[in-house]
Amino acid sequence: MPKVHANGVELYYELHGSETAPLLVLNNGIIMNAATSWAFQTKALAQHYRILQYDCRGQGQSEHPGSPYSMEMHADDLAALLTTLNVDKAHIAGISYGGEVAQAFGLKYPERTLSLILADTVSEVGAETRIIVDGWLDSARAADSNAFFNATVPWNFSSAFITANPRLLEDAKGRYKLLDFPAVVRLCECFLNVNFTARLGELKCPTCIIVGSLDLLKGPAYAAILKAGIPTLKCTSWTERDTPLVGNDHKNSIQPFWDFWLNKFHKKYIKRKLTMRMKDKVVLVTGGAAGIGKATALRFAEEGAKVVICDVNEAVGQETLKLLGKDAAFYKVNVTSREDVQKWVDDVVAKMAALTSLSAMQAFCVMDSWSR
């Protein structure tokens, strides 16, 4: 599978599924890897999406630079990878460490984030979690694979799972011996700097949160913080009585995570036949800064259109522009003025010869006058 140079680092990635389907990015947990960790999910997800699995810097087959990592750096790496692959925007999913990378990406690149799917992840690091991960760091800094295994497994798996799966865990112990522990140290140190809670309100895309009830590391308390802070939350693993996915620990939330997401969040909020059928077309939307006009502009942008919006409210228009992608444009126009609207259209046509569609959600009479 290929590697690319992005943002100054070599990244390993895999692509699965139809090239015409919308892209879903899978961000790994801290010691997961793209080549093996998603084996049970890829086939099901690829029926609906183009799947991008990749190792972030310090993981798996990607480069392991010796300098410190940050979540912002991971977000920039992913953005550069998407750009290299000619992808403007995508659905961004992640479990555990990957969920924190997903949050960082959503906050820094909202215009490239179609949705967020966050499983067993945090927006801040509490005192107890910090002590736990400090213990991981002690064994990682000593490059003691057995000590690191013993320090991490009880927090990643429930006691019932540990009792029932001795052979699986013995196999895992062998893989721990292959870890690049200096890189693991940098990843753990990066995690300890996670602090997104105060900014969760900036996330504007549809978001799904999932957590296992037996997750002792990044469990329901952290999910509740995310739930309270994200204004565009569409669904969670909780029932109406706020019961998390029952019986799942930190690592074993991954399969129920995808089952829940595909059967609820995907079907209800995301499955819109996003076939990019408007790619390379230009769409004008009047009143596009807010309300129906904004919703229309965002929908066309999801389908790949280059969207040009106009509105009298420049401040709100500029905020909406950030959500529409790099090819979008905003004009301050009074749509009650035929002269102003005609000047706007003429200017757009002059700059974008591919003009093919016009949506005048708040200016039907003006559109009527043009048609005559």
pLDDT in tens, 22-72: 899 999 999 999 998 888 888 888 888 899 999 999 999 999 999 999 999
Query: 109-123, 267-281, 282-296, 345-359 — which is least confidently predicted?
Result: 267-281
Q: Which of 282, 277, 298, 279 is nearest to 349 (CA)?
A: 282
Using an 8 Å Cβ cutoff, are 211 and 244 in contact? yes
Using an 8 Å Cβ cutoff, are 45 and 255 in contact? no
- Residue 246: phi and psi, rounded to 5, are -75, 135
At which residue do the structure tokens 């290929």 appear?
A: 2
Of residues 145 and 297, the one with the higher pLDDT is: 145
pLDDT of res. 306: 85
Q: Do domains 3-270 and 282-371 have the same CATH topology?
A: yes
- Residue 128: phi and psi, rounded to 5, are -65, -45
Residue 161, pLDDT > 60, answer yes
Using an 8 Å Cβ cutoff, are 31 and 179 in contact? yes
Neighbours of 372 (CB within 10 A): 4
Q: What is the rounded CA–CA span in Å between residue 211 and residue 256?
A: 9
Q: What is the rounded CA–CA span in Å between residue 104 and residue 113?
A: 11
The structure tokens listed for 83 are: 């750009």
> Which DSSP letter does residue 112 get?
G
CATH of domain 282-371: 3.40.50.720
CATH of domain 3-270: 3.40.50.1820
Domains of the chain: which residue ranges?
3-270, 282-371
Using an 8 Å Cβ cutoff, are 7 and 80 in contact? yes
Look up the pTM and report it.
0.70
